[in-house]
Chains A and B, each alone.
Chain A
Amino acid sequence: MSDLQTLESSTLTAIAGATDETALEAVRVGALGKKGTISALLATLGKMSPDERKSAGAAINALKDKVNEALTARRTVLKDAALEQRLASETVDVTLPVREAASERGRIHPISQVMDELTAIFADMGFSIAEGPDIESDDYNFTKLNFPAGHPAREMHDTFFFEPDAKGERKLLRTHTSPVQVRTMLASQPPIRVICPGRTYRCDSDQTHTPMFHQVEGLVIDKSAHLGHLKWVLEEFCKAFFEVPNVKMRFRPSFFPFTEPSMEVDIQCRRSGGEIRFGEGEDWLEILGCGMVHPNVLRNCGLDPDVYQGFAWGMGIDRIAMLKYGMPDLRPFFEADVRWLSHYGFRPLDLPTLAGGLSA
């Protein structure tokens, strides 16, 4: 074996044996550094004859290339191994739980959600939102709405009253959202199209009644709005709200002091277990009252009933929320039990739109 072969063999063995980059660098310096073995051989070339130099030079340069190649290859191996080791040491338990995001925990109350749904539907039909105070006068809550004196609703056992003020006027908590109708008619000129959602109050407390509840009222006044339009509006509303392609409704003649003719409206449904499905089935479920605005109410609000006409309807927001989303009882709506709110509430970004669908 020639010296070159010996040197090649020992150098390559050293490269392969280097276990880290420092050791490898030492091998490189030992071979190719200024005083390295291969560098020393290259230095001998100057003393050779041209012919000798030609053959020895080629052999030494070939060895140098081979060693360089081996160094590069080994360096890559060592680098990869080092990275592997680092990655292994950085491994964590990714199954550990992360903290729930705030937006995962937050909830919108079903009443607010349903109010937003109502807004989405009726805004599209060209209705505005009208509001009025919870503390009302007897005049707006009863008299202007054609409740006769002595009507039972005007008694203490039905309605919350305040003590009479200095002028002897006895204010009350509105028993329905209908005084907002009165306010709207008094404050604006037809055509009127509003819905009036809000809190309402009655002296009632049992399994199905709470002293405070929510209603939404609708009012349309112009010179031609009639019962046929009312039916259409309510049919379209029910389909949109309950998100069903069809809904069958039954209009029953009924009585309210502030509408004439008056009707109660049932929708067809199927009940099975705790679930109600609309647009099918054999049962009827009462959901709202409605009618043509009573001429006396129009007159009381400064409108001539021979010129202006229109219709109104009212329904319980809590009730339609229960029907749509299946809460069995009313009372928990106002108990602020986080278990109930988390279960029946809505995620913060579930904003009802007609484009995206009212509910997710």
Chain B
Amino acid sequence: MKFTLSWLKDHLDTTASLSEIVETLTRIGLEVEHVIDPTDKLKDFTVAYVIDAKQHPNADRLRVCMVDTGTGTPVQVVCGAPNARTGMKSVFSPPGTYIPGKDMTLGKGVIRGVESNGMLCSAAELQLSEDHDGIIDLPDDAPVGARYVDYAKLGDPVIEINLTPNRPDATGVHGIARDLAAAGLGTLKDHAIKPAGGAFPCPVNVKLDFSTKDKHLAPMFALRLVRGVKNGPAPEWMQQRLKAIGLRPINALVDITNYVTFDRGRPLHVFDAKKVAGNLTVRRAKDGEEVLALDGKTYTLKSDNVVIADDKGVESIAGIMGGEHSGCDDATTDVLIESALWDSMNIARSGRALGIVTDARYRFERGVDPAFCVPGAELATKLVMDFCGGEPSELIVAGEQPKSDTAIDFPLSEVQRLTGLELERSEMVRTLEKLGFGVISQSTNADRIIVKVPSWRPDVEGKADIAEEIVRIAGVDNVASVPLPRIDTAVPKPILTLLQKRTRQARRALASQGLVEAVTWSFVSKEQAEGFGGGQPALALANPIAADLSDMRPSLLPGLLKAAQRNADRGFGDVALFEVGQIFKGDGEKDQRMAAATVRRGGSGRAWNAKATPVSVFDAKADAMAMLAALGVPLGGLHIVSGGPAWLHPGRSGTMQFGPKNVIGWFGEFHPRTLEMLDVDGPVAGFEIILDDLPAPRAKPTKVKPKLELSDFMPLERDFAFIVDRSVKSTDILRAVQAAEKVLISGLNVFDIYEGAGIPEGRKSVGVTVTLQPREKTLTDAEIEEVAGRIVAEVTKKTGATLRG
């Protein structure tokens, strides 16, 4: 919403400065976005008299002018304008002036050997028009030395406010003035509008052609003919205001409708009566009906749209834009003035559907004042008669004004209850009254008043709205900050849930592993979703923003894989990314899970003291185990089962599970087909674990750690090399070792895997080191041999191993 300062002062009697007004507007909720004060850029330009203009001695196209700028001493200026001549008045700028149209600061100069101490300016140089043809030619009575901006009345600052959707009343200058008056910045001027009467019945009739349930679409429609008008340009002052707020003056009749739209928040329409065939019918459009609108475009309408039609067809899209056919031009002599009410929701929908943004739609979709429908028509009539003459008909009104009689039983203490602000009763009542609310005191209860909501405030529905009105005018800045009392004055208790804690810890743990945290989109392409076990219709967006962001992600992995590849494509091939975030297994609340996933691509990188190794399934496993350990997940029950889901390499992946039913995730290298689908290359490995599925730590009554038992005896290590089939899992060997001796073994590790010379084809050697911790006495060689024998026997029995010689 834009207006100018002088326009505001038509409605507000005030001595407040521009900056006070701007500051107050923002303070009371009419946030000022921009203030453009033309005076700023034009303040140095003055009216000057050309005493003498002579031909430049050295240039055919230049003149040397002696200019009276009002200082008493004539100034010599070299001027190239064809219209520079002795005795004219024009606009002068001294050296040092910033010339907005040229984006330069004027300096003193010598032009072809003649000194020039300033410039005579064109309208284009002042950014007032496109006119470059010559310097501004002012009338003889222009006062020499005066600021041009004042003389030409160009100094009217333009204020633009960012209007919230709940304030239809502030779509007009009058409503804004009312708010400022309530805020103490002056007095609202009452512009009583006198009905124009009518010399004759309106010859055009209006029918609201709606079924009972559609009546709300067009509750009221006022129409008047003014005949014998002489259309032409609107008065200069009106054109200037319209131009200042960015509208193009067209002709008086059209400009009046635009002016009243901004002046009163009351959109109007004018028809050239001679172009209207028969009577007007307001109705739903027929599907497929077309209209050529005033913007020169043809719109195809649907029955959702409301139109105004004559005997020949649609003449106007109700509340949004008029039709080209019956528009007013300079030849118009009889004009029909329309002031109507429309359903705000229908206008919003139609406007959006048709893609038309107009000042009328902006107001109707917020809700215009129903009580100003008839006064709006009368105001327009008066302006038409003032500017264009003519003779008005009687005003006809179809339909009726909808009731707007909201009354709110309001306890004044509500203001303090909701805001903490203590205000005098009289101040609160005064504020409401100045905003146009009716206030009825109740004799029985001084705290309670009945507040009658004015017709222009459809947003005010209840007590909280009234409290807001009072507080915004009193000033939210006057509400004192009050410490929020603690519910519990003790040291703050822990507040994170187990999952919240684990989510945080997972991030820190993975970052400590050298992985970098990424946040990728929650949506992936359909193909990617399907490739990772998702893609069900319930998780496909109906209106995705892009084809590759169409489905909710079933896994973090596709996003991370694509991200890793993007980095590789930029020249960073060794990347290690992780994400901890939501994945979607369905559209139910419980189907959203918290996952942690990693993708490592490339390798370890070269170093002088270590070989560069490509990433492998074991990097992914190490990351997964590190994270689980950091989260304090009891790992005793964790089983690693060979293989994983389809997107992982079947021979280089593992499934992590606590028992056969509780699978918590997977790790591994990726399936070549998956990588091909994603267009990802290079060695890539990763894991994904669902944090929701991790077992909770066992609840304990105290924080005491279990007793530490230390042995006095030295532990000892024994190495075994088992030759087994290639397919035997190391975990089976280790389990057999453990089964053979349940007391003494305190450590177990695989220290070597070997296939090749010396080992039969299809078999491998697995080197296992076993740490034995004597408990009560040092073990004798015989006792050690006995344990070793049992271990070998058990492993042989379980895995078919032979001891390597």
CA distance in complex: A342, B515 (Å): 10
CB distance from A272 to the nearest CB of B (A): 22
Which of A6-14, A81-89, A220-228 is found at the contact surface with chain B?
A220-228
Q: B576 at the A/B interface (Cβ < 8 Å)?
A: yes
CB distance from B20 to the nearest CB of A (A): 16
> Nearest chain-B residue to A220 (Cβ)?
B484
With A102-B513, A162-B538, A235-B481 known as contacts, the answer to whether A135 contacts B471 (CB < 8 A) is no
Q: A243 at the A/B interface (Cβ < 8 Å)?
A: no
Interface residues of B in 649-672 (CB under 8 A from A): none
CB distance from A177 to the nearest CB of B (A): 13
Q: Are A255 and B165 in contact (CB under 8 A)?
A: yes
CB distance from B599 to the nearest CB of A (A): 10
Q: A341 at the A/B interface (Cβ < 8 Å)?
A: yes
Contact with A along B409-437 (1 / 0, CB 8 A): 00000001111110000000000000000
Interface residues of A in 127-164 (CB under 8 A from B): 127-129, 131-135, 149-150, 152, 155-157, 160-163
Q: Are A102 and B476 in contact (CB under 8 A)?
A: no
Q: B504 at the A/B interface (Cβ < 8 Å)?
A: yes
Residues of A close to B476: CB separation below 8 A: 227, 251-253, 261, 263
Q: Are B545 and A162 in contact (CB under 8 A)?
A: no
CA distance in complex: A335, B575 (Å): 14
CB distance from B364 to the nearest CB of A (A): 13
Q: B496 at the A/B interface (Cβ < 8 Å)?
A: yes
Most buried by A among B504, B541, B607: B541
Q: B735 at the A/B interface (Cβ < 8 Å)?
A: no
With A102-B513, A102-B514, A309-B418 known as contacts, the answer to whether A333 contacts B472 (CB < 8 A) is no
Number of interface residues of A (CB under 8 A): 92
Q: Are B516 and A107 in contact (CB under 8 A)?
A: yes
Interface residues of B in 58-110 (CB under 8 A from A): none
CA distance in complex: A106, B577 (Å): 9
CB distance from A330 to the nearest CB of B (A): 12
Interface residues of B in 472-493 (CB under 8 A from A): 472, 476-477, 479-484, 486-488, 492
Which of B194-202, B378-386, B460-468 is found at the contact surface with chain A?
B460-468
Q: B543 at the A/B interface (Cβ < 8 Å)?
A: yes
Interface residues of A in 158-202 (CB under 8 A from B): 160-163, 165, 170-171, 173, 191, 193, 199, 201
CA distance in complex: A93, B542 (Å): 64
Interface residues of A in 325-360 (CB under 8 A from B): 333-339, 341-342, 345, 347-349, 351
With A253-B29, A261-B419 known as contacts, the answer to whether A228 contacts B482 (CB < 8 A) is yes
Q: B512 at the A/B interface (Cβ < 8 Å)?
A: yes
Q: B511 at the A/B interface (Cβ < 8 Å)?
A: yes
Q: Are A337 and B511 in contact (CB under 8 A)?
A: no
> Nearest chain-A residue to B345 (Cβ)?
A150
> Nearest chain-B residue to A99 (Cβ)?
B607
Q: Are B29 and A229 in contact (CB under 8 A)?
A: no
Residues of A close to B592: CB separation below 8 A: 133-135
Which of B129-137, B145-153, B566-574, B795-803 is found at the contact surface with chain A?
B566-574
CB distance from B416 to the nearest CB of A (A): 8
Q: Are B515 and A227 in contact (CB under 8 A)?
A: no
Residues of A close to B563: CB separation below 8 A: 335-336
Among B481, B543, B567, contact of A338 (Cβ-Cβ < 8 Å): B567
Q: Are B507 and A112 in contact (CB under 8 A)?
A: yes
With A135-B587, A162-B587, A254-B29 known as contacts, the answer to whether A150 contacts B517 (CB < 8 A) is no
With A134-B582, A162-B542, A163-B537 known as contacts, the answer to whether A225 contacts B484 (CB < 8 A) is yes
Q: Are A254 and B164 in contact (CB under 8 A)?
A: yes
Among B465, B486, B500, B514, contact of A103 (Cβ-Cβ < 8 Å): B514
CA distance in complex: A231, B419 (Å): 10
Which of A38-46, A55-63, A118-126 is found at the contact surface with chain B?
A118-126
Residues of A close to B465: CB separation below 8 A: 260
Residues of B close to A119: CB separation below 8 A: 495-496, 504
Residues of A close to B513: CB separation below 8 A: 102, 106
With A108-B508, A126-B486, A309-B417 known as contacts, the answer to whether A150 contacts B468 (CB < 8 A) is no
Q: B356 at the A/B interface (Cβ < 8 Å)?
A: no
Contact with A along B318-353 (1 / 0, CB 8 A): 000000000000000000000000000100110010
Q: Are B512 and A102 in contact (CB under 8 A)?
A: yes
Among A104, A123, A261, contact of B471 (Cβ-Cβ < 8 Å): A261
Q: A264 at the A/B interface (Cβ < 8 Å)?
A: yes
CA distance in complex: A99, B574 (Å): 14
Q: Are A253 and B468 in contact (CB under 8 A)?
A: yes
Q: B749 at the A/B interface (Cβ < 8 Å)?
A: no
Q: B28 at the A/B interface (Cβ < 8 Å)?
A: yes
Which of B48-56, B264-272, B519-527 is found at the contact surface with chain A?
B519-527
> Nearest chain-B residue to A192 (Cβ)?
B487
Q: Are B540 and A106 in contact (CB under 8 A)?
A: no
CB distance from B668 to the nearest CB of A (A): 21
> Nearest chain-A residue to B472 (Cβ)?
A253
Q: Are A165 and B517 in contact (CB under 8 A)?
A: no
Interface residues of A in 227-271 (CB under 8 A from B): 227-229, 231-233, 235, 250-255, 260-264
Contact with A along B552-582 (1 / 0, CB 8 A): 1000000110010011001010011100111
> Nearest chain-A residue to B461 (Cβ)?
A296
Q: Are B539 and A162 in contact (CB under 8 A)?
A: yes
CA distance in complex: A201, B521 (Å): 10
Residues of A close to B352: CB separation below 8 A: 152, 155, 157
Q: A105 at the A/B interface (Cβ < 8 Å)?
A: yes
> Nearest chain-B residue to A234 (Cβ)?
B481
CA distance in complex: A150, B346 (Å): 9
Contact with B along A86-115 (1 / 0, CB 8 A): 000000000011010111111111011000
CB distance from B150 to the nearest CB of A (A): 29
Most buried by A among B167, B483, B544: B483
Q: A205 at the A/B interface (Cβ < 8 Å)?
A: yes
New contact pairs (11) apart from A232-B482, A341-B517, CB-CB < 8 Å: A101-B514, A123-B495, A134-B584, A135-B552, A199-B582, A211-B523, A225-B484, A226-B417, A227-B418, A339-B570, A347-B511
**Which 8 A-B pairs have CB atoms at the shortest separation, nearest pair first?**
A253-B29, A102-B514, A228-B420, A106-B511, A336-B563, A261-B468, A255-B164, A348-B511
Q: What are 23 A-to-B residue pairs whose CB atoms are below 8 Å?
A: A102-B513, A103-B512, A106-B515, A134-B552, A157-B352, A170-B542, A193-B487, A205-B545, A226-B417, A226-B482, A227-B476, A228-B419, A231-B479, A235-B481, A252-B27, A253-B27, A254-B31, A255-B165, A260-B465, A260-B468, A334-B520, A348-B511, A351-B508
